[in-house]
Every structure is written in C-alpha cells, then in structure tokens.
Amino acid sequence: MSLTLLPIAGILGLGGPELLIILVILLLLFGGAKLPALAKGLGQSIKEFKNAAKDDPIEPKKPDAPGKN
C-alpha cells in the first residue's frame, strides 16, 4: 500500500502488517455483515463534515441602530 492511498496511515506510522491486524480485529468485533454499514456511515459523516467546513457561515446583518448614521 502506498502512502497516497492511505495518507493517515503514513502520518500515524502504520505499515501494512499493522493495518492488517487492525482490519482483522474490526472483523472479529463487528462481523462481516456490519462492516459495510459502518464504513458507509463513516463515509457519510466525513462527507457532511467536509461540506459543513467548506460552506461559509452566513451571519445575518444587524440593522443599524435608529438615530446613528
């Protein structure tokens, strides 16, 4: 696996054997049927976070106080 495919793994210093062990542990904990659903939920969460971070928050303008110009 190259670092371009898994940039977080490169940052954390994880290699192929470590990622394989993590995958086996996840498979044992959640089972094969739940992993696709978990991955889908994680992907949707990341997508929503990126969209929220990209959107500029629009602050409503406060009306000027009467009598001040």
For the chain, the domain total comes to 1
Domain holding 30, by residue range, is 7-53
Q: What does the pLDDT read at residue 38?
A: 84
Q: Is 61 inside a domain boundary?
A: no
Q: What does the pLDDT read at residue 44?
A: 92
Q: What does the pLDDT read at residue 58?
A: 63
Q: Give the DSSP letter string of the chain.
A: --TTT-HHHHHHT--HHHHHHHHHHHHHHHHHHHHHHHHHHHHHHHHHHHHHHHSPP-PPPPPPPTT--
28: left (phi over 0), alpha (psi -120 to 50) or beta: alpha
Q: Return per-residue pLDDT of the chain as tens, 69 residues.
A: 444 555 556 667 778 888 888 888 988 888 888 888 888 988 899 899 888 888 766 665 666 666 655
31: left (phi over 0), alpha (psi -120 to 50) or beta: left
Q: Is 34 inside a domain boundary?
A: yes
Q: Is 39 inside a domain boundary?
A: yes
pTM: 0.46
